[in-house]
Amino acid sequence: MAKIGIIGWGVVGQAIGKGFETKKGNKVFWYDKYKKGPHTLDEVIKESEFIFLCLPTPMFSDGSGIDPSIMNEVVDQIAPKIVKTDKVLVVKSTIVPGTTFSYKKKYPKTNFAMNPEFLTEANALGDFLKPDRTVIGAFSQAVASRLASLYQDLYGPGSKIFITDPTTAEMVKYMSNALLATKVIFANEMYDLCTALGIKYEEVKDMVAADTRIGPSHLNVTTVRGFGGKCFPKDMVALIGFAKKRKIDASLLKTVWQKNLRIRKVRDWENIEGAVNFKKKK
């Protein structure tokens, strides 16, 4: 039996909470600042051994990166209260590499872990219950083992679990989404080439996707071109901004993002709650 706390009862938080509740004996306590719930923040902290942070990290509207202020604020609220306890603060939200390390540096006596989510909004609970893999980034083997046991109890002994450091775990999420976003734009370009040749893209796509190295995901091209939603735009912007700060050439990522802005007529992410921060960057 595990006592699990969820901070942020949105798509991710609900998928995790409801997912863990499918395991008999688990107890889930959740809190959301903007939703009426059964528990206060202090109650969640007191009752839980694992506290999952499922909070928005919106992109700045100027495309310079993401705003971690909500996550930072909640970490500052919780971390001092669980110093020198066996409670674990688990970051689920997508944050730039090195962020969890900065939290640990600020609160060295608090247990932190980075455990990225790989959920689709359309099937969040199903994705959580049947993941391709689980990635756990921790500062100690003891914390990593406890989290791994939590997931093994839920998924069974054959589940694929990777244990690494938090910064690597953060990068895994960004690389995954950046690669998939790039695949979407690549597919759109191939669609245009096929159209110019007078051949059927669907036929070409199916034969290309039969290669197991490539696979069929993210190759469909619809009338709504490019990629949108809450995650891909935000994560591309974050990774480009992260690279720029470190003077790393991210020309491929920039090209993908700029091409998406050109072909995506409806920038739906601008109207999704928690996806974009339209306030001026401080």
Candidate list 66, 71, 95, 231, residue with the active-site label: 231
CA distance 107 to 111: 9
Q: What does the DSSP 8-state code read for residue 105?
A: H
The DSSP bridge pattern shows strands 111-114 and 134-138 to be: antiparallel
CA distance 255 to 182: 9
DSSP 18-56: HHHHTSTT-EEEEE-TTS--SS-HHHHHHH-SEEEE---
Q: Where are the alpha helices (DSSP H) in 162-231?
A: 166-197, 201-209
DSSP E strands, the chain:
3-7, 27-31, 50-53, 59-60, 88-91, 111-114, 134-138, 161-164, 276-277
CA distance 8 to 156: 27
> 17 is written with which tokens?
């909470």
The yes-or-no answer on residue 231 being catalytic is: yes
Whether 54 contacts 6, CB under 8 Å: yes
Q: What does the DSSP 8-state code read for residue 58?
A: P
| Catalytic annotation, residues | 231
